Structure 1
């Protein structure tokens, strides 16, 4: 058996350490150059002058370094001052479906019993549907069809609303408080068409 001598083992170990340190040095230099290019240092920016005062125009700025400004991001950071929407403890899609269903049933039955918060939230939508029915044009009919679930109900609303609410400019619904719900003591109300 041949055993390597300790001196040859130390030589191979030293050469691998040198290779490792050279690799680390190359990686550091590469990282520094990449960070300079990505950050768009002022010396490499188009139209910038170097430290000697000469004009550098051959190196263009990286598209990554361009600042991202869009109206969408600024809209996301805006505060919601005075924007009051009843959340009703539901995500947006479920909340919209609930309000559409309540609107449809109020128009169909004339009055329903629900929680006070839901009654106050749906009042706006019912008034809007009646306003569309009073207006009576094709666009108003299509808007009502997009909100109310029952197509036949929309047609009957557009026939009855102009004569029933001709003397009224708004306030087509009335919210009356009732006894709290047994079980969870939620505030209840009846919302009805005037």
Structure 2
């Protein structure tokens, strides 16, 4: 393991790098109490200095990603106009492939869906059902490993595929805690896909 120092809120922590990849870094620390998901820290050794953000904190480890990582662009955008997000001059947006289950709720009807991808524009899901209403706010529950998150989604488009229908929904609202869980889940799933490729 490589030694690294972490500058966080004016205090320097000594740590060891367990895993180092361009998408995220796992650092073992003797003390993690002061860290919280979303915090910014500077990680440095004799070769480099990186501005990172905390994705996940456990008793002895902190998982961080570069502060400018695409995963931090995923957030609720309730005040954005739909056309601003999907305009003609839009730049390429990185999409993270997922394969997890969720439910969307409308009044008294709960529908099971499969989440296929997430990007800063929103969440893609598939279902064999035409009853999903466009431009409608749905309560949802998304399974992220052994935790569930509860964002509100607005369905913006539908695309009929050969065997299913793919819907695109923007994140209307999500709590900061749920957003941190989602970001950590995305990064761990990308890591798992990389390891099994």
Question: Do both share a fold (TM > 0.5)?
Answer: no
Per the normalisation by structure 1, the TM-score is 0.22
Which structure: larger Rg? 1
By percentage of residues, which structure has more helix?
Answer: 1
TM-score (norm 2): 0.22
